[in-house]
């Protein structure tokens, strides 16, 4: 029944969205634009943006895809906190204005769309894939793994590259060369994988000054992560393991520094 | 149409914008007091090496009202530093027994227990 009713009948309450806009062809710096959107109990900020795009201002640009916190496309700053727009219910911001900005610490391409090229480079630099010393012939079958071996790293496989952690991390804002939480968590994920032998290959990037040692354990990445990956934990564990490797390489009998 | 990405600057007071970054900066600042107190302990050893008069004047300096106030301030900051650090230990040291993860509260409690035992040993040693 309600599905066929026009929106205006369903809702009288409205909300104000303040959206940071940047249109490089007409303006030199971003500025806020205010939109009024209908309030609905089951709407998320992404629904409100879609409403604006469909009914108010078709020029507004933002990324989104799945609307269910799986694709990681719709990360943005909502009232100063990095969030997935599909995961931020209007009912939690009912009193007051909702301020929507592109993710912090990234260059703005247009409106809420950020440039993520640097992140893609950093991600590739940690070789986030299983590296086997020698490929097994096909007839020897799969690379088997016990449930315990899987449990060792499963949490770190949940990353959807939404970049909320980069927007939350002050170190990412202060040093653009910091490899950053998501990439380091993924490196840790493969280092922990029993099928992987690529730890040494990753160490040059991971265990460098601008890898794990740039992290000062603010912990913000883990607080904002929508998939509970806990990158802060991954980085601290990597610090311990990299320190042990450093000492082993120098103190172990027969080790080559 | 050419691209013209816009990078917003990080303000100098970036850490004032959020509760978690304020508590983080306070935790970082406590390190200064830990360092200063360590320096005072080293100074104490130097004064001890210089003989009884030097050592006694060092002790009377510490037990003067400004000395006591300094130690109380240091104690507060060191406690804050330790408590926030212990709270983070389960992240850095996730332990498992036969594949079962040990609850974070247990890891934190063991740190407090170790702290208590070491403090007790130091106190007893100081008494003797």
Query: Distance (Å, rounded) from C-alpha A190 to C-alpha A161?
Result: 16
Dump pLDDT digits (tens) for B76-94.
Answer: 999 999 999 899 899 888 8
Determine the residue among B1, B3, B8 to mutate to test chain A binding: the one whose Cβ has the most chain A Cβ atoms within 10 Å: B8
Q: Is residue A206 part of a domain?
A: yes
Kindly give the residue spans of alpha helices, DSSP state H, lying in chain A.
Answer: 7-10, 45-51, 117-125, 147-151, 164-168, 170-174, 181-191, 199-206, 220-224, 231-251
A240–B94: do the CB atoms touch at under 8 Å?
no
Q: Is residue A257 part of a domain?
A: no
B10–A174: do the CB atoms touch at under 8 Å?
yes
Q: How many residues does chain B have?
A: 128
Dump pLDDT digits (tens) for A14-67.
Answer: 999 999 999 999 999 999 999 999 999 999 999 999 999 999 999 999 999 999
Same domain, A149 and A212: yes
Q: Is residue A67 part of a domain?
A: yes
Q: Is residue A162 part of a domain?
A: yes
Task: Show which residues on chain A lie within 8 Å of chain B, measured between beta carbons.
Answer: 22, 24-25, 29-30, 80, 104-105, 107-109, 115, 148, 151, 170, 173-174, 216-220, 222-223, 230, 232-233, 236-237, 239-240
Please report the pLDDT score of residue B100 as a whole number: 83
Same domain, A79 and A176: no
Residues of B in contact with A217 (CB under 8 A): 88
Q: What is the CATH number of the domain that holds A26?
A: 3.10.20.30
Nearest to B6 among A108, A219, A237 (CB): A108
Dump pLDDT digits (tens) for B47-58.
Answer: 999 999 999 999
Q: What is the CATH number of the domain that holds B51?
A: 1.20.1300.10
Please report the pLDDT score of residue A4 as a whole number: 58
pLDDT > 70 in chain A, percent? 95
A104–B8: do the CB atoms touch at under 8 Å?
yes
Nearest to A108 among B5, B14, B93 (CB): B5
Same domain, A226 and A128: yes
pLDDT > 90 in chain A, percent? 86
Closest residue in A to B22 (Cα–Cα): A218
Q: Is residue B119 part of a domain?
A: no
Q: How far away is chain A from the Cα of B35, in angstroms, using its nearest Cα? A: 18
Same domain, A240 and A197: yes
Same domain, A141 and A99: no
Same domain, A121 and A107: no
Residues of B in contact with A167 (CB under 8 A): none
Asked if residue A218 has pLDDT above 50, the reply is: yes
Q: Which domain does A40 fall in, by range?
A: 2-114
Please report the pLDDT score of residue A1 as a whole number: 46
Same domain, A194 and A82: no
Same domain, A136 and A218: yes
Query: Are the beta carbons of A46 and A64 closer than 8 angstroms?
Result: yes
Closest residue in B to A167 (Cα–Cα): B10
- Mean local confidence (pLDDT), B12-24: 92
Domain limit, last residue, from A82, A114, A146:
A114
Query: Distance (Å, rounded) from C-alpha A111 to C-alpha A23?
Result: 6
pLDDT > 90 in chain B, percent? 80
Per the model's pLDDT, the better-predicted residue between A32 and A252 turns out to be: A32
Please report the pLDDT score of residue A7 as a whole number: 56
Determine the residue among A218, A230, A237 to mutate to test chain B binding: the one whose Cβ has the most chain B Cβ atoms within 10 Å: A218
Same domain, A124 and A236: yes
Could you give the number of structural domains in chain B?
1
Same domain, A48 and A127: no
Closest residue in B to A220 (Cα–Cα): B20
Closest residue in A to B16 (Cα–Cα): A170
Per the model's pLDDT, the better-predicted residue between A12 and A232 turns out to be: A232
- Mean local confidence (pLDDT), B26-54: 94
Q: Is residue A256 part of a domain?
A: no
Beta bridge partners of A98: A17
Q: How far away is chain B from the Cα of A50, in angstroms, using its nearest Cα? A: 24
Per-residue pLDDT band for A95 (boundaries 50, 70, 90) equals confident
Dump pLDDT digits (tens) for A146-159.
Answer: 999 999 999 999 99
Closest residue in B to A151 (Cα–Cα): B99
Beta-carbon pairs below 8 A across chains A and B: 65
Q: What is the mean pLDDT of chain A?
A: 93
Q: Which domain does B31 fall in, by range?
A: 10-74
Q: Is residue B120 part of a domain?
A: no
Determine the 3-state secondary structure of A145 from DSSP.
coil
Q: Is residue A193 part of a domain?
A: yes
Closest residue in A to B93 (Cα–Cα): A237
Asked if residue A10 has pLDDT above 80, the reply is: no
Same domain, A100 and A174: no
Query: Are the beta carbons of A208 and A246 closer than 8 angstroms?
Result: no
Closest residue in B to A24 (Cα–Cα): B4
- Mean local confidence (pLDDT), A70-74: 97
Domain limit, last residue, from A114, A146, A166:
A114
Asked if residue A3 has pLDDT above 90, the reply is: no
Domain limit, last residue, from A92, A114, A136:
A114
Q: Which of A256, A223, A126 is nearest to A178 (CA)?
A: A126
Other CB atoms within a 10 A radius of the CB of residue A98 amount to 20
Q: Is residue B4 part of a domain?
A: no
Q: Is residue A159 part of a domain?
A: yes
Per-residue pLDDT band for A11 (boundaries 50, 70, 90) equals low
Nearest to A218 among B10, B24, B93 (CB): B24
A222–B7: do the CB atoms touch at under 8 Å?
no
Nearest to A170 among B3, B21, B93 (CB): B21
Per-residue pLDDT band for A96 (boundaries 50, 70, 90) equals confident
Same domain, A6 and A91: yes
Query: Distance (Å, rounded) from C-alpha A17 to C-alpha A32?
Result: 10
Q: What is the CATH number of the domain that holds A172?
A: 1.10.1060.10
pTM of the shown model? 0.89
């Amino acid at each position: 029944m309600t599905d066929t009713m026009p929106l205006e009948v369903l809702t009288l309450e409205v909300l104000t969205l303040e959206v940071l806009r940047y249109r490089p062809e007409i303006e030199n710096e971003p500025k806020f634009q205010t939109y009024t959107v209908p309030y609905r109990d089951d709407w998320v900020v992404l629904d409100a943006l879609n409403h604006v795009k469909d009914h108010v201002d078709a020029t507004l640009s933002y990324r989104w895809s799945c609307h269910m916190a799986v694709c990681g496309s719709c990360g943005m700053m909502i009232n100063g906190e990095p969030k997935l727009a599909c995961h931020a219910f209007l009912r939690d911001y009912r009193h007051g204005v909702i301020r929507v900005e592109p993710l912090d610490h990234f260059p703005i391409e247009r409106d809420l769309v950020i440039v993520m090229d640097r992140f893609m480079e950093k991600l590739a630099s940690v070789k986030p894939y299983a590296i086997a010393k020698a490929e097994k012939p096909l007839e020897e079958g799969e690379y088997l793994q016990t449930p315990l071996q899987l449990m060792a790293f499963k949490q770190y496989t949940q990353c959807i590259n939404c970049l909320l952690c980069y927007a939350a991390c002050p170190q990412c804002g202060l040093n653009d060369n910091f490899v950053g939480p998501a990439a380091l968590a993924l490196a840790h994920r493969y280092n922990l994988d029993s099928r992987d032998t690529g730890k040494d290959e990753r160490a040059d990037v991971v265990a460098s000054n601008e890898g794990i040692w740039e992290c000062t354990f603010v912990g913000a990445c883990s607080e904002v992560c929508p998939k509970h990956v806990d990158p802060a934990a991954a980085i601290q564990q990597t610090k311990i393991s990299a320190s042990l490797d450093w000492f082993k390489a120098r103190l172990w009998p027969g080790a080559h520094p | 149409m050419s691209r013209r990405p816009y990078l917003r600057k990080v303000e100098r007071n970036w850490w004032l914008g959020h509760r978690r970054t304020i508590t983080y900066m306070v935790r970082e600042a406590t390190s200064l007091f830990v360092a200063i107190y360590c320096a005072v302990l080293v100074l104490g050893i130097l004064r001890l090496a210089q003989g009884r008069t030097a050592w006694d004047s060092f002790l009377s300096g510490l037990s003067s009202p400004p000395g006591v106030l300094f130690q109380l301030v240091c104690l507060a900051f060191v406690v804050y530093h330790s408590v926030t650090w212990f709270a983070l230990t389960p992240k850095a040291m996730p332990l498992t027994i036969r594949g079962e993860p040990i609850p974070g509260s247990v890891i934190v409690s063991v740190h407090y227990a170790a702290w208590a035992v070491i403090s007790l040993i130091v106190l007893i040693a100081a008494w003797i």
